[in-house]
Amino acid sequence: MKKRARTFFREHGEIVRLLAGFGIFGCLYCLFTLLTGWGIPCIFHELTGLCCPGCGISRFFLCLLRLDLLGALSQNLAVAILLPLWLTVGLIEFLWNPPALNRGSRLNRILLTGSLILLLIFGLLRNLPAFSFLLPSPYDPIV
């Protein structure tokens, strides 16, 4: 296992460092949001009044930190579906490195294309009145 981990970090060190940087930034952003109540506004929402597929992601993760799974689902259902999928794919790739998940492989293209299509459909549907339940709900991070 140590040899596999060493090989993985040698081959994917840049990606691991990038993800670690995003993780650290996310933790600092979460702390800032919890302490001040301020967040980064969605530029798409500010300009159009519509919610993009990413609206509610910050509140999604804040709910997860509070172990409020239903609250997280109400903030961004697409992320709630895609996050476990991609974490599982990443774990499988790390542990077994199957050729079916290599860059450019058919399965990898299907997963990426399917995720993109899901996000686009989600972004369209959540702005229709019949699907208003997909909009992020109001959230008070201090409560």
Band (pLDDT 50/70/90 cuts) for residue 47 is very high
The predicted model gives 51-64 an average pLDDT of: 91
Residue 97: which of 38, 32, 10 has the closest Cα?
Answer: 10
Listed in sequence order, the DSSP H helices in the chain are: 2-36, 43-48, 57-65, 69-75, 77-96, 106-125
Give residues with Cβ within 8 angstroms of 85, minimum separation 6.
111, 115
> How would you class 61 by CB atoms within 10 Å of its CB: exposed for 0-12, middle for 13-18, buried for 19 or more?
buried
* Whole-number pLDDT of residue 140: 56
Considering the chain, what percentage of its residues have pLDDT values greater than 70? 96
**pLDDT tens-digit readout, 70-83:** 999 999 999 999 99
* Whole-number pLDDT of residue 1: 64
Band (pLDDT 50/70/90 cuts) for residue 139 is low
CA separation (Å) from 7 to 4, 10, 11, 13? Answer: 5, 5, 6, 9
Residue type, 60: F
Instruction: Give the domain ranges of the chain.
Output: 40-134
* Whole-number pLDDT of residue 143: 45
- Top pLDDT among 103 and 85 is at 85
Phi, then psi, of 42 in degrees rounded to 5: -80, 120
